[in-house]
Chains A and B, each alone.
Chain A
Amino acid sequence: MSVNINVNTGKNKLRRRAALTDTNLLLFITIGVFIVMYVCAIIFLGKGFTKPQAFFNILNENASLIVLSCGMSLVMITGGIDISVGQVTSLVCMACAVYLDKDHGNGDVFTSLFIALGIGLAFGAVQGFLVAYLEIQPFIVTLAGLFFAKGMTTIINSSQFNVENDQFKVLKSTEVNVPLMGSYNKLGEYIPGYVEIGVLVALAVVIILFALLRWTKLGRNFYAVGGNNQSANMLGINVKFTKFMAHLICGLCAGIGGYVYFMHVGSGSPSHAAGAEMNAIASSIIGGTMLTGGVGNIAGTFFGVLSLSTIKNIVASLGLDEAWWTNITVAAMLCIFLLVQSVILARKNKNKK
């Protein structure tokens, strides 16, 4: 068949529209929101936000959330959800704390890492199996997972305690200096900017998962499954396995995120990471992951976490530091972005008709 000239002129028209996929559109919105927010913070709240260390502190505080959110995004891209990650984080903290503490297990750091990953993988695998192979609603499965993790945390140890373990203390207090990003104090001394180890782990997770989603077959299959379950099956994708993998990786992220959180706080408590699943979902949604599945980006999620924590910091520096304001702000952010998504979706559907 010959090349049709009409087709080609039509194509030039198409070309302009083509670049803007749903994923890209939402990613641009997210990055835009973050920049606007940060600039506003610098302009109106001044000093604190201009130093690079202020930015690094946001990273230090939220390293664990970044990891959790990345896992969450993955599951959400396949059209599922995992609300157990917060409590799994708490469980990981408690299990590692009990294992490492002098008065309890007195174990070594290396093994504790495996405990963390093991717990995460176990949750991911069981939940993934139930969701993918038995086709039970992900929300119900992970709600049960949430409560199971909650109960198990209390069963292991019902109160908060700080970990006494020399090896772990070294790990916890390690700071990695960031070159050229320091600042001078009033005396003119150079104070180097630093990040915790957890931040490096989080960045590694972001990069690995970004690459996974962009260039691997498995990653693209996540999108296909989220876009249309049955079509994906017809296209020759193993839908069940893909969904299982999404939950497994999310579980693994919960394990890693749990350990990062543990390195940051250095204690075990049933109330640790309470509501983290909420923050993770909010970050993913703000980051442009569609709840309906098939659309989303890890880079977006990263900026989602940053946006969320920036607004939290802004709220805190406005003097509204009571704990409830944070919750209300997060909920409000989530609400706004959900509405934005809903409007975008409605518009699109209209256009198509």
Chain B
Amino acid sequence: MENGAVLEMRGICKYFPGVRALEDVDFTLREGEIHALMGENGAGKSTLIKVLTGVYPKDGGEINLTGVASNAHIRSPQDAQKLGIATVYQEITLCPNLTVAENMYIGRTKGHLTNWKKINADAEKLLDELGIPALATQQLGSCSIAVQQMVAIARAVDMDCKVLILDEPTSSLDEQEVLKLFNLMRSLKEKGVGIIFVTHFLEQVYEVCDRITVLRDGKLVGEYIIEDLPRVKLVSKMLGKDFDDMADIKSESDADNIDYNDIPVYEAKDLTGTTGIKPFDFEIHKGEVNGFTGLLGSGRSECVRAIFGADKTNGGKVWVNGKQVKINKPLDAMKNGISYLPEDRKLDGIVGDLSVRDNIILALQVMKGFFRPFTRAQAEAFADEYIKLLSIKTASSESPVNSLSGGNQQKVILARWLLANPVYLILDEPTRGIDIGTKVEIQKLVLKLAAEGKSVTFISSEIDEMIRTCSSLIVMRDGKVVGELKGDDLNQNKIMATIAGGEGK
């Protein structure tokens, strides 16, 4: 084994039916380093992590842990824990019905009895140390998501582990919390813990990491020391080619042709949601692309959900093409020509076991009515048309949609809403968790739609994307609209300043 290595994975293979998820992947983690695991979606990061933590059994290769086990067989998360591998997952993997303290200690205390006094005291101490605003005896479900994530980290930190895996832990944390987490990571690094850090955010990688391992299509691309790999190179390693396609997107858009004086396609006054957003005004014109931006939890998704009627609204007036309408449920919005691609693809978007065809026609079919189903031939024609148009990679229109990759699933949902022929299309994070190639395709599509005279609201956590596609941006903070940026104001600094608080600064 290499000197100083705490973990060595050699020749790891993992197959799923019809897919080679990992092929002959090597990975080495050294003592006291923060090691970023990078790759696009479907590159095999999560699979590698899950093999290491025993969620999936490996189909080949060996895992060595220095001083603990050589060629370790990790068959379950319990095994991994015993070997000193602690993991914090992107989704909260704690039990909401138990107390905070229990969540920190369950599944890893010795003996058959629970010593409540001790775990409560220990937990309280640790929570104070890490500055987590929660009580040991509080039910976890009553904490905010960010606090729950911090509790998960506290649990992992306390495990006295050799290897700490952080699988996209920052996606639900705000800036302050991220900084706190980074400090924590650095202090653990001092103690000699090896940390594997998986994230989508490039800035974060360059802020804390020492080394980067890049995966692509289930294969190892290489291991690099951070100083040797500038951002551009990292991106090209992840993509497998040099990419400057993104740069020329903006030139295609022609925001100047929008007539801001005509009747807006959609207009809302004092629209109030029941999900914690303050009343807001909003309008969008023919051929306009605008966006909502703000930190996670600022209410940007809640706003568009209120527009679509996905969440209940309790106040405000809405006009579509100058006519006042009431939108209480999604169907009302759809009938008024509004489409909504939801933020959470798996939970709100695809209908898993149904075929690609049924998924594509679903919205149009619902609009047509319960008693007027499409014939098989009609449905097939629609599906084939859009599979071709968006070049969706699927074996056939009969395949269940959950057998497709993330990006193609997203395209299926896009196809569904394009088929519904909306005048106003809301896209909430359409580019999240999909490969960069598809991201570019989607951004180009948005601009093309706008050129055809459709109105689009585009939301993305990546500000670059928003700047490239949108002609105006609505900035949100704490459920309130705090600014609208247009034209020359659409630049990174100005947006950041507005998000962060106050044009005055």
Contact = CB atoms under 8 A, between A and B. Distances in A.
B107 A221 contact: yes
A223 B95 CA distance: 9
Size range of the chain B interface in the assembly: 35 or more
B96 interface: yes
Nearest to A219: B114
Nearest to A231: B93
Interface residues of A, number: 42
B325 interface: no
Nearest to A234: B93
A1 B129 contact: yes
Interface in A287-304: 294-295
A295 B362 CA distance: 38
Interface stretch (A10-18, A102-110, A244-252, A316-324): A10-18
Interface stretch (A138-146, A180-188, A202-210, A235-243): A235-243
Contacts of B155: 235
Nearest to B129: A1
A232 interface: yes
Contact of B134 (A14, A19, A227, A238): A14
Contact of B77 (A219, A223, A234): A234
A216 B114 contact: yes
B308 to A, nearest CB: 17
Contacts of B138: 14, 17-18
Interface string A138-167: 000000000000000000000000000000
Contact of A224 (B106, B133, B137): B106
A220 interface: yes
A47 interface: no
A4 B94 CA distance: 25
Interface in A327-353: 348, 352-353
B106 A237 contact: yes
Given A1-B131, A17-B138, A217 B111 contact: yes
A218 interface: yes
B76 A353 contact: no
B64 interface: no
A352 B92 CA distance: 15
B103 interface: yes
A223 B140 CA distance: 13
A50 interface: no
Nearest to A293: B97
A236 B96 contact: no
B93 to A, nearest CB: 4
Contacts of B108: 235-236
A134 interface: no
A234 B116 CA distance: 22
From A10, A226, A234, A348, residue with most partner B Cβ within 10 Å: A234
Interface of A: 1, 3-4, 6-7, 10-11, 14-15, 17-19, 21-23, 214-221, 223-224, 226-228, 230-238, 294-295, 348, 352-353
23 contacts: A1-B131, A1-B184, A15-B135, A18-B137, A18-B139, A22-B139, A23-B97, A215-B113, A216-B114, A219-B114, A220-B102, A221-B107, A223-B97, A227-B95, A228-B95, A231-B93, A232-B95, A232-B107, A233-B76, A238-B78, A294-B95, A295-B97, A352-B141
Query: Lowest 9 A-B CB distances belong to which pairs?
Result: A236-B107, A227-B95, A227-B97, A294-B97, A234-B93, A18-B138, A235-B107, A231-B93, A236-B81
